[in-house]
Amino acid sequence: MDLVLNRTDYLQVGVTSQKTMKLLPASKHKATQKVVIGDHDGVVMCFGMKKGEAVAVFKTLPGQKIARLQLGGVLNIPQERIFIAAGSEIRGFTKRGKQFLSFETNLTESIKAMHISGSDLFLSASYIYNHYCDCKDQHYYLCGDKINDVICLPMERLPRIVPILACQDRVLRVLQGSDVMYEIEVPGPPTVLALHNGNGGDSGEDLLFGTSDGKLGLIQITTSKPVHKWEIRNEKKRGGILCIDSFDIVGDGVKDLLVGRDDGMVEVYSFDNPNEPTVRFDQTLSESVTSLQGGCVGKDGYDEIVVSTYSGWITGLTTEPIHKESGPGEELKINQEMQNKISSLRSELEHLQYKVLQERENYQQCSQSSKAKSTVPSFSINDKFTLNKDDASYSLILEVQTAIDNVLIQSDVPIDLLDVDKNSAVVSFSSCDSEANDNFLLATYRCQANTTRLELKIRSIEGQYGILQAYVTPRIQPKTCQVCQYHIKPLSLHQRTHFIDHDRPMNTLTLTGQFSFAEVHSWVVFCLPEVPEKPPAEECVTFYFQNTFLDTQLESIYRKGEGVFKSDNISTISILKDVLSKEATKRKINLNITYEINEVSVKHTLKLIHPKLEYQLLLAKKVQLIDALKELQVHEGNMDFLTPEYRSILEEADHLQEEYKKQPAHLERLYGMITDLFIDKFKFKGTNVKSKVPLLLEILDSYDQNTLIAFFDAA
């Protein structure tokens, strides 16, 4: 059975954060539910649908930005109390909108995530986790990296309290009191946690997680160790996951998994087999889905998925069919409802337009006076700048609450902007003639009407670092633009990992000198992505990294006065050396840099590159042949006379071409890295081999692993 869901828009509020919309439990059996939502203006609104129109139950006054909204109450009865986290304060409302709680937590940072269970309150700010019981401080934990979400296994079903933190460094931390019980590594930075089936599954220990690179998984949190149940990789390259809910929308008695992503995708997974969720339905909305929940809001008797988006739209994906099979009179009634809605909106608009015109005149007038000031209207930009592991490129996602007019991209490092199929904006590259202006890339994206979200893909080169700036101009009056800055780090293609292979031949770079722990940490932050800005609490820290393109690794161990960096790739060490000495000179710190080069490592790296290079060369060769082979096929009618090799190329033609298209310039990048490796190897020896690079390229053109290794040895 195909699941068909129809979209109906209910209402628009202000910009919303992740997990800020909930459905209140239905008061009577099968009656429609009320929606409660909190936005960035600090307004909590509760409404229900009556005859296709949104009717507000209550609406609070504006205040601080609402980061989370949760329902709570006494355990084992319907959870009807509304809790919001705004700034460092927690407020509670009854379902009628009466405020019954205002709790100032005295946290120094504003609250990012919240979980409520009975009288237990679990909060987390950027790095701090706090557990309160009846508003009294119970436990506290300082985390090494940013906390994205917090949850606690159902207390009514388990005899213990098990809070779990989702941390940016790809780890779920399972706590016991104020201590970490154990850590679970997950395949991407986790952004959201949810209880399986809403109650933790059969054992009450099943936990769902979603990551910012779009992966989804289920883990059972037992008392001693985690049990990975299943994981869905993001094959279709969809957006990061922002919200998860369990609800039986298909109507087969098994709760389905509802997932909302930051590229506007809403998915329904159903469990035909308990350990194998399959996609039953997907639909794209044009902007980030911040929260979603299954329930019944629009019409009694029809289940739906209620979704809230970044710009504050509350939309239902309902099982109610659009074209109902009913008498002609009813059809007319529906249209009447619509017409009423439209005309009321129209009159509202007219009124507003008049008001705006007046204000505009005032604004014009005040521009005559010499003392007056002109402010810039503020608008919020939801941005995400992440490294994709699969093709070693960065994706930059910009989302604004209103339509974007244009975006100017400027960079002071050489980077490539790649085309993204999804975006429809017209890109235009401008010449960057004058070197004096530090521009290596100037490009404008002129967006089509109603574009609120823009996705860009950027390819960086390791060793070349600087800042990428995006000037975003939305279509609001008065016209304004906001700058977003992103650092392209020297080792931009590295990614944090938790395990490395210690048996590889390693090159070592050692720093010693009069520097503090904070200083050396800031250097590491400067050089490598995915390192928390805040220096860790420990005296000595170890971070492991992996090069997403070549799979070489980097180990960094540092403390006050000493830093040791180990990598099997000489180029990595060389880049670190250059950047660190430059940074130290800038701050006038006397730094002792010693390095130890392992000759074997070069050969090892070349061997790592070998399969990739060979694969790419073969792919390129095959793709070149496809057209000619196809022509033969047309001419001869069958392909029996071809060798099996050619026949297999023809059979896989589409797949090969797709693969080839997916990795543009992959070969060039590999060549570039081999060249860097060659130059760096001899740089450490003190010889300049730039003159031999053409020779190297010649060898690469007719690639053979042994010749290449011999060339590296001989030169």
Of residues 464 through 523, those in contact with another protein by CB under 8 A are: 471, 473, 475-483
Q: Give the nearer residue to another protein in terms of CB position, either 111 or 409.
A: 409
Q: How far apart are CA 83 and CA 93, in angstroms?
A: 6
Q: Which of 627, 651, 668, 704 touches another protein by CB under 8 A?
A: 627
Q: Which is nearer to another protein, 26 or 408 (CB)?
A: 408
**Closer residue to another protein in complex, CB, 174/456:** 456
Element (DSSP H or E) covering residue 591? strand 591-596
Question: Segment 155-174, which members bind another protein (CB under 8 A)?
Answer: none
Residue 488 half-sphere exposure toward CB, CA atoms < 13 A: 23
Nearest alpha-carbon partner for 601 in 684, 671, 700: 684
**Pure H helices in 637-704:** 644-651, 653-662, 666-685, 693-701
Give whichever of 11 and 181 is closer to another protein, judged by the CB atom: 11
In b/e form, how buried is each residue of 659-687, taking b as 16+ CB within 10 angstroms? bbeeeeebbebbbebbbbbbbbbbbeeee
| Closest distance of CB 426 from another protein, Å | 5
Cβ–Cβ < 8 Å for 263, 249: no
Q: Closest distance between another protein and the C-beta of residue 623, in Å? A: 15
End-to-end CA distance of the chain: 67
Tell me if 631 contacts another protein by CB under 8 A.
yes
Q: Which of residues 686-705 bind another protein (CB under 8 A)?
A: none
Site membership for another protein, residue 633 (CB under 8 A)? yes
C-alpha closest to that of 541 among 520, 570, 514? 520
Check residue 7 for interaction with another protein (CB under 8 A).
yes
Residue 388 pairs with which residues in a beta bridge?
Answer: 393
Question: Which of 663, 633, 637, 635 is closest to 651 using CA atoms?
Answer: 633
- Closest distance to another protein from the beta carbon of 294 (Å): 21
Closest CA to 190 of 170, 208, 173, 219: 170
User: CB 155 → another protein: shortest distance, Å?
Assistant: 41
What minimum distance in Å lies between the beta carbon of 385 and another protein? 16
| CA–CA distance, 551 with 609 (Å, rounded to integer) | 9
Nearer CB in complex with another protein: 29/371: 371
Choices 1-9, 261-269, 288-296, 704-712 (CB under 8 A): range interacting with another protein: 1-9
**CB closer to another protein, 415 vs 580:** 415
By CB under 8 A, tell whether 28 contacts another protein: no
- If the CB atoms of residues 338 and 537 are measured against another protein, the closer one turns out to be 338
Sheet containing 265-273: order of strands: 241-247, 256-261, 265-273, 276-284
Which of 333, 355, 422, 662 lies at the binding interface for another protein (CB under 8 A)?
355
Q: Does 331 bind another protein (CB under 8 A)?
A: no
Task: Tell the smallest beta-carbon distance from residue 480 to another protein (Å).
Answer: 6
Q: Work out which of 253, 637, 644, 694 binds another protein, going by CB under 8 A.
A: 637
Q: Is 695 helix (H, G, I), strand (E, B) or coil?
A: helix
Q: How far is the CB of 210 from another protein (least distance, A)?
A: 28
Greatest C-alpha distance within the chain: 90
User: Which 8-state DSSP code applies to residue 156?
Assistant: T
The count of residues interacting with another protein (CB under 8 A) is 83
From edge to edge, which strands make up the β-sheet containing 304-309? Answer: 6-12, 313-318, 304-309, 289-295
Query: Which residue in 74, 332, 352, 665 binds another protein (CB under 8 A)?
Result: 352
Give the residue with the Cβ less far from another protein, 373 or 502.
373
Per CB under 8 A, does 340 bind another protein? no
Within positions 386 to 445, which residues make up the interface with another protein, using CB under 8 A?
402-403, 406, 408, 410, 412, 419, 421, 423-431, 436-439, 442-444
For another protein, the binding residue among 359, 538, 698, 713 (CB under 8 A) is: 359
Residues 291-330 that bind another protein (CB under 8 A): 311, 322
Q: Tell me if 349 contacts another protein by CB under 8 A.
A: yes
- Minimum distance from residue 637 beta carbon to another protein (Å): 2
Residue 249 neighbours by CB distance under 10 Å: 25
What lies within 8 Å, CB to CB, of 348 at 6+ separation is none
DSSP 437: G
Task: Pick the closest to residue 693 from 709, 713, 710, 671 (CA basis).
Answer: 671
Contact stretch for another protein (CB under 8 A) within 199-207, 293-301, 339-347, 542-550:
339-347
Binding-site member from 345, 618, 665, 697 for another protein (CB under 8 A): 345
**Min. distance of Cβ 411 from another protein in angstroms?**
10
Minimum distance, C-beta of residue 452 to another protein, in the bound complex (Å): 10
Shortest Cβ 345–another protein spacing (Å): 4
**In this chain, which of 353, 516, 648, 688 binds another protein, going by CB under 8 A?**
353
Q: How far apart are CA 687 and CA 685, in angstroms?
A: 6
Residue 64 found at the interface with another protein (CB under 8 A): no
Cis peptide bond prior to 478, omega within 30° of 0: yes
- Find the helix or strand (DSSP H, E) in which 331 lies: helix 328-366
Min CB(323)–another protein separation in Å? 9
Part of the chain binding another protein (CB under 8 A), chosen from 193-201, 446-454, 539-547, 594-602: 446-454
Q: Which two tokens stand for residue 69?
A: 């909204």
Separation of alpha carbons 468 and 474, rounded Å: 19
Taking the least distance from each CB to another protein, the nearer of 59 and 360 is: 360
Subset of 360-379 contacting another protein (CB under 8 A): 360, 362-363, 366-379
The label of the residue with tokens 């609450």 reads 401
| Closer residue to another protein in complex, CB, 142/352 | 352
**Residue length, the chain?**
715
DSSP string over 619-638: HHHHHHHHHHHHHHHHHHS-
Under rule CB under 8 A, residue 4 binds another protein:
no
Return the closest-CA partner of residue 550 out of 601, 610, 617: 610
When the beta carbons of 470 and 696 are compared against another protein, the nearer one is: 470
Query: What does the alpha-carbon distance between residue 201 and residue 690 come to, in Å, rounded to a whole number?
Result: 62
Contact (CB, 8 A) for 258 and 245:
yes
Q: Which is nearer to another protein, 437 or 592 (CB)?
A: 437
Binding to another protein, residues 256-295 (CB under 8 A): none
Footprint on residues 80-119 left by another protein (CB under 8 A): none
- As a whole number of angstroms, the distance between CA 124 and CA 113 comes to 5
